[in-house]
Structure 1
Amino acid sequence: MSNHQALWTKVDQYVEEKLIPSDEALDTALAANREAGLPAIDVSPAQGKLLQVLAIMNRARRILEIGTLGGYSTIWLAGALPAGGKLVTLEYEAHHASVAKRNIERAGLADRVEIRVGLALDQLGALAEEEAEPFDLIFIDADKPNNPHYLDWALRFSRPGTVIIGDNVIRNGDMIDANNEDVRVIGTRQFFDKLASEPRMTCTAIQTVGSKGYDGFMIGIVDK
């Protein structure tokens, strides 16, 4: 671990100790994810709390999450919903979705979370066919090459005031390299290009450091 990474991790630990009380459901979800062999790419506790705070600030009643993994971020987001609220989360891997389902049930949130399994683009198309109502907050955290397409769908399911958040948009700074051939970096750069030309959104990107390394979020709001 580099000196910088060690410091970032210690700062995250300090923030968690001071501001993020231990939560049995969240701790158990992370342990279950590890036991099930899921990749350790969940948001950090501080990032999860940020997502929850943003959902509360926006008074979100309907949330769309693209990319469930083991449901750790899902639990954070669903915890912000009021009575009668709903979160729809999309996951490609059936095994991941099964782990997430158990984690969400243990957290007591099954009544407000719907997990849809399959290709996210297919599931988004199905939501359109069902004439799903707009969402108040949309969190994009799935396969990065498809981020531009996910943004198109996010806008389709938005209304003025909808908050759209994209994870992993800095990628250790690789996103500034136009010659980088990593498909995740290419997808991220295309995501930025689409955001730059999108008149319906006001947005920014924030670099983050912490226990998850060097990365960042895109945070935007739909204006019209």
Structure 2
Amino acid sequence: MVEHAAEPAWVEVEQYLTDVVVGPDPAHQRALESAVQAGMPPIEVAPTAGKLLKLLVQLSGARRILEIGTLAGFSSIWMAQGLPDDGRLVTCEYLRKHADVARANVDAAGVGHKVEIRVGAALDTLPTLAAEESFDFVFIDADKENDANYLDWAIRLGHPGTVIVMDNVIWDGAILEPERDEVNAPGIIRALDMLGQDPRLDSTAIQTVGSKGWDGFALARVR
């Protein structure tokens, strides 16, 4: 398995940018602390990435967001804060105990009225959304084995112009050495191939460093 080690300087710079540029509010800190208290793995996005998601939601004019992978609701809060008051975020979480923590966090952040948490395997939940209004923005941050499946559903549940963000696409460089993580790396590679080859998408990918180690995200637009 890949170890996502972070250089001290990466963490220091990220903290500096968080403090000086991003300025998280108490609701974000509460979500982080609740995740630790609940014994969740520290795999939520960094505050700098959370703010990026919020800005992308606002820049795209999104009113309906789909999130795949909720955890404690940290990224959910950021994105919901970017929605208009009558906007809607549907987030899929596999574990009930995580969903309960996230519910408390989005409510405490004052965005609970915008957020619906659906519990269960996302590949079971996503087909049930097909009869609903399409999504303007999709954030994928769940089990990497199913990244390509999630990406396909993001396209199907979206519309021309829908923005898709997929996290963890570099995976400490394991996309070049998939034998280092035979569980996650192949799924990420399949998704990257799809991002580059699927005629329904126009895509790019950005590598990053920070408290989460060497990683990155993909950004796509449905044609």
- Tell which deviates more after alignment, 170-179 or 208-217: 170-179
Aligned length: 220
Q: TM-score, normalised by structure 1?
A: 0.95
Q: Which runs of 4+ in 1 moved over 2 A?
A: 177-181
Displacement after TM superposition at 1:34 (Å): 0.6
In structure 1, the gaps of 5 or more residues are none
Note if contact 1:180-1:186 (Cα within 8 Å) is conserved in structure 2. Answer: no
Displacement after TM superposition at 1:195 (Å): 1.7
Higher relative contact order (CA 8 A, sep 6+): 2
Distance 2:112 2:11 in 1: 32
What is the CA deviation profile of residues 63-113 of structure 1, one whole-angstrom value per residue up to 9, with x for unaligned ones?
Answer: 000000000000000000002100000000111001000001100111100
Determine the structure 2 residue equivalent to 1:116.
118
Determine the structure 1 residue equivalent to 2:148.
148
* Secondary structure in structure 2 of the residue aligned to 1:183: coil
Determine the structure 2 residue equivalent to 1:51.
53
Identity %: 49
Determine the structure 2 residue equivalent to 1:174.
174
Note if contact 1:170-1:217 (Cα within 8 Å) is conserved in structure 2. Answer: yes
Distance 1:59 1:132 in 2: 19
What is the alpha-carbon root mean square deviation over aligned residues?
1.5
What is the CA deviation profile of residues 145-193 of structure 1, one whole-angstrom value per residue up to 9, with x for unaligned ones?
Answer: 0111101100001111110010001000110125455221010011112
* Secondary structure in structure 2 of the residue aligned to 1:207: strand
What is the CA deviation profile of residues 114-173 of structure 1, one whole-angstrom value per residue up to 9, with x for unaligned ones?
Answer: 000000000001112xx1111111000000001111011000011111100100010001
Letter paired with 2:133: E
Distance 1:190 1:42 in 2: 23
Distance 2:26 2:6 in 1: 30
Distance 1:23 1:163 in 2: 26
